[in-house]
Amino acid sequence: MLAVESVPAPAVSPPKQSLPHGACDAHSHVFGSFDRFAPSQASVYALPEASPEAHEAMRAKLGISFGVLTQPAPYGSDPAAMLHALRAAKGRLRGIAATGPDIDDETLADWHAASIRGLRFVEMRAPGGGRYPGSVGVDALRELAPRLRELGWHAQLWANAADHAALLPGLLRLGLPLVLDHMGCPDPARGRSDSAFAAILDLMRSGQIWVKIAICRVSRAAPFYEDARPLHEALLEAAPERLLWGSDWPYVRLQPIPDAGRLLDLFHDWTPDETLRRRILVDNPSKLYGFGAASGEAA
């Protein structure tokens, strides 16, 4: 068993405005408990003590009904910790796993029964330029695509905007829904006029991709994140029906550590239209992940 350097999971503040019934946090992670679910890969960061119980408490404090867990790289292709959280959530969580083409169909079927609904593929590089240990690159997606289509799953992509602009035209031919992490990772210094970000906006308008709003991963101006606001507004203008909101809790490799409640306050302030807020927080994730948004119960 690998030795684990851990830190407490970050606290959250309740948002100033109540969220619509059925709201979803479409991007977060669970870690541990480490005596039961130790990482399978050496980590380049300290691991938060973000157990399923801590995750549930975080959602409750924010007023979040549903959530989507993304497999963190230290667990590699072993989703045991995430599966434990999904099964305990009784339909209120979905999961995005990570695996290579050697996975067998029986395991994929078991994951589907446990509420996994997609796989994550990573082209973003770790500090130093190499891949994050445990991550799976887009090359594996091309081989896995027929099996994802059969399951009705989507592919979740983490790459910078320039790589997205280069990769997406080819990946769209695979016939899968594609979901971009962290606003497509544009450069806030280049703003909304950057050609790579413009290509992402065009694909959103055509209804071919989904994008997760996560300003804390894009901004270089914490804790107010004003450099991300033009990007946020451009996404809203392009295709609000293709947007999801994600907290990215528990915030590995981020200083200062964000507060999910304050991120929701900014989302409220930067998205003044109540109908659009409900679409992004409730309707869109219900459509993509199969949550029962109208009743607040799992579909």
- Could you give the CA distance from residue 69 to residue 28 in angstroms, rounded to a whole number? 5
Whether 129 shows a pLDDT value over 60: the answer reads no
How many Cα atoms are found within 13 Å in the side-chain-facing hemisphere of 74?
23
Q: Look at residues 190, 156, 195 and name the one whose alpha carbon lies nearest to residue 71.
A: 156
Residue type, 283: D
Q: Look at residue 125 in the predicted model and tell me its pLDDT.
A: 62
Matching residue, tokens 């071919």: 208
Per the omega criterion (within 30 degrees of 0), is the bond before 250 cis?
A: yes
Q: Look at residue 44 in the predicted model and tell me its pLDDT.
A: 76
User: Is residue 248 annotated as a catalytic residue, yes or no?
Assistant: yes
Q: Look at residue 21 in the predicted model and tell me its pLDDT.
A: 96
Whether 147 shows a pLDDT value over 80: the answer reads yes
Q: What is the DSSP string of 135-200?
A: ---HHHHHHHHHHHHHHT-EEEEE--HHHHHHHHHHHGGG---EEESGGG---TTTGGG-HHHHHH
- What are the residues whose beta carbons fall under 8 Å from the beta carbon of 285, sequence distance 6 or more? 24, 26, 66, 68, 244, 291, 293
Q: Look at residues 27, 93, 31, 16 and name the one whose alpha carbon lies nearest to residue 62.
A: 16
Give the tens place of pLDDT for each residue, 221-253.
Answer: 999 999 999 999 999 999 999 999 999 999 998
pLDDT band at 173, cuts 50/70/90?
Answer: very high
Give the tens place of pLDDT for each residue, 92-111.
Answer: 999 999 999 999 999 999 99
Give the tens place of pLDDT for each residue, 22-44.
Answer: 999 999 999 999 999 999 877 77
Q: What is the DSSP string of 50-91?
A: --HHHHHHHHHHHT--EEEEE--GGGTT--HHHHHHHHHTTT
- Could you give the CA distance from residue 286 to residue 299 in angstroms, rounded to a whole number? 9
Q: Domains plus CATH for the chain?
A: 19-298 (3.20.20.140)
Give the tens place of pLDDT for each residue, 176-193.
Answer: 999 999 999 999 999 988
Whether 127 shows a pLDDT value over 60: the answer reads no
Catalytic residue among 248, 259, 265, 283: 248
Residues above pLDDT 70, as percent of the chain: 93
For the record, the structure tokens of 186 come out as 């544009």
Q: Look at residue 291 in the predicted model and tell me its pLDDT.
A: 94
